[in-house]
Structure 1
């Protein structure tokens, strides 16, 4: 089971201040029943009441001020703790290895970020600080009751202990039930996000009711998990409440009998019963705190699960290749695959792939779907690591370079255009936030997107919508290509860059690639017209390299390439 301790250490000063405020608040609260007893005694003995009433009012006012300050500091500290957990979680979530993203749903990760971290707030306030304050109040009240009448205190403690024990026994399993409820919430969020991400497709195929039923099914399972949790809570709290009420009735009965017999003054009984209320409240609060703490620990388990996953590790300082030594001459790089094999776990992947991308050359990867072209680009980006063989950059194994160093030397345009909600400018300048406006306009012109600037009064600051919904498919693809061109890095990786482009825009892109003279370019493509003028074309099939050469050479010697060229009417 995980612990809250690592998350609390950063707020030690605030928790210390809360402890001091709790002690002061407990002292003022504990003084009030004694003052009530004093008022009764002074009234009975016909002594002046003004002095003691004045003190009682002042003590009550101080108690109110202390309680307000304590509550504000408590909420501020709890929100600060949750913020710290969320920032840490976001940092780890965005640094997970790519295979982890393949295995996990985005909706569940977002549920952990929102709902699970929110559950920690109640655990810290009710289950932590307020529970500590309740302990102080309970101890103070017990001491005061002992000074008034020890036999009544022992009777009170005995009855309280029995019911508290029953409540704690009833609360077993709350943490597991809370975790199950949070997991079902995560699945429901993932299902909703899945449908919203393809809502146009769902509508187009008349599958709204079907998908609504799927998400509603997850909602019902979340509801059922919440009910199981609520049923357990419905046993815990009434058990504690019934015990407290029964104890108070018993104490009032025994105390009344002793007052009637003259064994106990009325003022003492009144003070004792007020202290009993002060004792009962904290004990009941402790029981609720225990339940809140169990729920918080269930949420913390799910948060810690993600924080414990491996991130993309920077290699140890001793094995990092010197930046200058790892770079070759000029603004380009040499890339090589040496007997690379990689398996996704289902038999698909790469099998002993070897080829070179010479410095400053444009090399194309072609082949049918599933041939392994995108996998090659992913391995060069170190999204995955080879099972065998190596990928080298200027003769250096990529595993000897940090992820940061590696990615500062290349840009990548994905097969599925990735457009972030924001503006045209923020999307293009993602890898170079301080890019001059003139440079942004230049790359827009290169990919034939200059009209975007004039389409809206906001110009480059026009919103593109979620996932670029305000752009056409071709515009989204050209926007991602512009993003890859802007930094002008040594290696340009393009995955199916013309899949959604018309012939005119395809020709414009070919010109933009040719204008990157001196840069190394690796393009994966189905449409051979995109790569006809590549310096070298690597033909892949079923995860293997089956031929290498220029377009003319491959038309003569590669049956697979020749059939692809014929299908696209290029021969």
Structure 2
């Protein structure tokens, strides 16, 4: 579906909360424009007074007062505009960040992280120019142009016609060129997003790239993206470079024509020297805001190009767009904790993953999902968390179809540890408080002890405030995984979903974690995905998956006898002779 094309009306919701300040700015702009338009009249009065020998003190004093007042009001207006522009950028970034964090997981699968970052950073910054040198320059410039044109028509209609002829050609070229800026600006911002994505990819995989000796190849990829962004930017720069000379040529031509024709009319006695000087000043007040308005129009087109990219993201439905506002009903007594009924699922790219999967997880039980890589085990957990919607069939939690539950209410029942559980940049405390923001230090330390990670809080004098590094780089792989499990245990949810909880652990820590999981399962329902069968042999029930289908269900001893696939997995892991 084609993206919605945005125009000036799309800016109104962004400006609405600043309408009071913008009204003041509009008033100041009108006052300063009026004060500026009065000045040529006063100058003519001074010159005519000098020629006629009349007193000019009052006119000079008023002229000076208007100049000083105009400068002060312009300063106040510019400050208010800058403050409003910064507020606009802040508001937009908040709105965009909140929306990005609520997008469906499938959108993250389709889009590049760097491009999304570019929209929050670079694109929102371009909106600043819409306010500071966009809308109000156009509005103020229009007032000045109209006022100056009327005054020039009163002074000498012939000179006005001469001036407008000189301006028409150059302004026509500038306006035509400005209309193309928006499309090229959108392309430039898109190329910038691609470059940001390339840099983000290279930095996030810096160790792998260094170990593979691929620095030059990755640098070449980033350079290629940067070159494309540069070329797109140069296309915009070339267009903008045409606007300045066209405007300058039109301005100089108009002034020369007015001075030539006006001088002849002064010599012929048709107008006075004061009239000619006033006319030239009015011409200046016509040309200067006209040029500023053209530049503002160009800035506005660039800002609208950035707004187009921002709105493309904001137009995406959030994950919770279809959720029902009603609170979730409590679990019904005797209902299983989780049920999958004839569930089939395929990812947005069309890859089928699950086929008619059905199994039941009784409340308070411990159920394991095992099978070869690619069998769909992790996908089952993602569907229970409702990161994706099933293609067909239903997932029930506490007897309720999860599609009928608000996502927040559903996930409040579920603790989830991903296969590659992320550790957030910051401190150990920051990571633990992610799921339990009100927990005290005693609870945090107890959670660490449960996963045999208590020493991490005593390793340095910083204790729980020790830094873990970007992505937990200052921790080992096993420590990162156990920290993620401790974080989930702190949430104290009735259902716990663990995806490969022991994949990065040595034998000693695996045994300790098995004890922690066993203790946690005494008061929780546990669903564990595992490749290591030693982790799950004592589960109440084991579901064996192969190629997206359930091929066997039962306890360990039973599956050894009834499931060839399970027996093969157990044999390879030396669990049977």
1:188-209 Cα distance to aligned partner (Å, 9 max, x none): 0000000100101100111001
Shift of residue 559 of structure 1?
1.1
Shift of residue 298 of structure 1?
1.0
Tell me the secondary structure at the aligned position of residue 309 of structure 1: coil
Separation in structure 2 between the aligned mates of residue 10 and residue 494 of structure 1, nearest angstrom: 45
1:466 aligns with 2:470: yes
Separation in structure 2 between the aligned mates of residue 315 and residue 54 of structure 1, nearest angstrom: 68
Separation in structure 2 between the aligned mates of residue 110 and residue 563 of structure 1, nearest angstrom: 46
Aligned-pair RMSD on alpha carbons?
1.5
Superposition map of 1:147-226 within 5 A = 147-226=154-233
Separation in structure 2 between the aligned mates of residue 487 and residue 49 of structure 1, nearest angstrom: 82
State the TM-score, normalizing by the size of structure 2: 0.96
Contact preservation (8 Å) 1:342, 1:388: yes
Separation in structure 1 between the aligned mates of residue 501 and residue 221 of structure 2, nearest angstrom: 35
Separation in structure 2 between the aligned mates of residue 32 and residue 236 of structure 1, nearest angstrom: 29
- 1:73 match: 80
Tell me the secondary structure at the aligned position of residue 515 of structure 1: helix
Shift of residue 176 of structure 1?
1.0
Separation in structure 1 between the aligned mates of residue 164 and residue 413 of structure 2, nearest angstrom: 71
1:66-101 Cα distance to aligned partner (Å, 9 max, x none): 000000011111111121111111111111101000
- 1:334 match: 337
Contact preservation (8 Å) 2:324, 2:406: no
1:508 aligns with 2:512: yes
Segment drifting more, 283-292 vs 213-222:
283-292
Tell me the secondary structure at the aligned position of residue 371 of structure 1: coil
1:552 aligns with 2:557: yes
Shift of residue 222 of structure 1?
0.6
- 1:437 match: 441
Shift of residue 528 of structure 1?
0.8
Tell me the secondary structure at the aligned position of residue 494 of structure 1: strand
Tell me the secondary structure at the aligned position of residue 455 of structure 1: coil
Superposition map of 1:426-505 within 5 A = 426-505=430-509
1:122 aligns with 2:129: yes
Q: Identify if the C-alpha distance between structure 1 residues 457 and 96 changes in structure 2 by more than 3 Å, giving closer, same or farther.
A: same
Separation in structure 2 between the aligned mates of residue 132 and residue 149 of structure 1, nearest angstrom: 26
Separation in structure 1 between the aligned mates of residue 415 and residue 24 of structure 2, nearest angstrom: 50
1:561 aligns with 2:571: no
Tell me the secondary structure at the aligned position of residue 421 of structure 1: coil
Separation in structure 1 between the aligned mates of residue 573 and residue 248 of structure 2, nearest angstrom: 79
- 1:536 match: 541
Pick from 307, 314, 317 the counterpart of residue 300 of structure 1.
307
1:46-82 Cα distance to aligned partner (Å, 9 max, x none): 3333322222221111111100000001111111112
Separation in structure 1 between the aligned mates of residue 186 and residue 81 of structure 2, nearest angstrom: 25
Contact preservation (8 Å) 2:336, 2:399: no
Separation in structure 2 between the aligned mates of residue 427 and residue 316 of structure 1, nearest angstrom: 28
Contact preservation (8 Å) 1:333, 1:491: no
- 2:254 match: 247
Shift of residue 38 of structure 1?
2.0
Shift of residue 316 of structure 1?
5.4
Contact preservation (8 Å) 1:360, 1:519: yes
Unpaired runs of 5+ in structure 2?
A: none
Shift of residue 106 of structure 1?
0.5
Separation in structure 2 between the aligned mates of residue 161 and residue 15 of structure 1, nearest angstrom: 32
Superposition map of 1:410-429 within 5 A = 410-429=414-433
Tell me the secondary structure at the aligned position of residue 4 of structure 1: helix
1:452-490 Cα distance to aligned partner (Å, 9 max, x none): 111222211111111111111111111101011111111
Contact preservation (8 Å) 2:421, 2:481: yes
1:228 aligns with 2:228: no
Separation in structure 2 between the aligned mates of residue 160 and residue 255 of structure 1, nearest angstrom: 16
State the TM-score, normalizing by the size of structure 1: 0.97
1:348 aligns with 2:352: yes
